[in-house]
Amino acid sequence: MAQNATIYKVELSVSDMDRHYYETHKLTVAKHPSETDERMMVRIIAFALNAHENLEMTKGISTEDEPDIWQKSLSGERDVWVALGLPSEKVMRKSCSKADKVIVYPYGGRTADIWWDKIKGSTNRFENLQVIGFSEKDTGALAKLANRTMKLQINIQDGEVMVSVGDSIVYLTPLKWKSAA
């Protein structure tokens, strides 16, 4: 018998001083049975880093033709395509052909480092691709904040991210492995 997704209710307050974006988003996040707390929290951070009124979570991990997060224009074009994990070169090529801007957030420590060393040379031709990694220490600390009902305050300034939930604070330093042209 297949397990159902676990539903998380998230009140996400984003204060992004770098982009001058200040908004609160009420998210319902479906955590797939195979998804870890670490991945789900990275997904929420990726949402905050790209927050926009048209940004939305997709079916994600259970759907091959959709990213984890996307932003569509009012006419339906895909403006931003956000993927998590360690996609193959083929998947990144397809993603880059489907959206104006593609951002991949790899995580997983040494595994992500090995993946990037192997794939980075083949990504140079994708001018609309950004790759932004996180340290295993940072994502591990994030995973400990996961709770079925969360009020997250995310402050972004000078590329640094501060995540607070109640009395707990985690600082993240996103690492730009590849910038879009």
What is the per-residue pLDDT across 73-87, written as a single tens digit (0 to 9) for each? 888 889 999 999 999
The residue type found at 122 is S
Q: What is the pLDDT of residues 111-137, one digit of tens each?
A: 999 999 999 999 999 999 999 999 999
Residue 10: pLDDT above 60?
yes
- CA nearest to 165, candidates 181, 178, 152, 146: 152
Classified as helix, coil or strand, 36 is coil
Distance CA 124, CA 120 (A): 7
- Stated length of the chain: 181
User: How many other C-beta atoms are found inside a 10 Å radius of the C-beta of residue 15?
Assistant: 17
What sign does the CA torsion over 26, 53, 20, 140 have? positive
Residue of 11, 4, 86 lying closest to 68 (CA atoms): 86
pLDDT digits (tens, 9 = 90+) for 55-72: 999 876 656 678 999 999
Question: Does 29 have pLDDT greater than 80?
Answer: yes
- Tell whether the model's pLDDT for residue 1 goes beyond 70: no
Using CA of residue 108, residue 128, residue 70, residue 58, what is the dihedral sign?
A: negative
Q: Could you identify the residue written with the tokens 């009012």?
A: 74
Q: Is 147 exposed, middle or buried (0-12, 13-18, 19+ CB in 10 A)?
A: middle
Helix (H) or strand (E) holding 80: strand 78-84
Closest CA to 125 of 93, 155, 157: 93
Mean pLDDT of 125-150: 95
User: What is the pTM for the complete model shown?
Assistant: 0.93
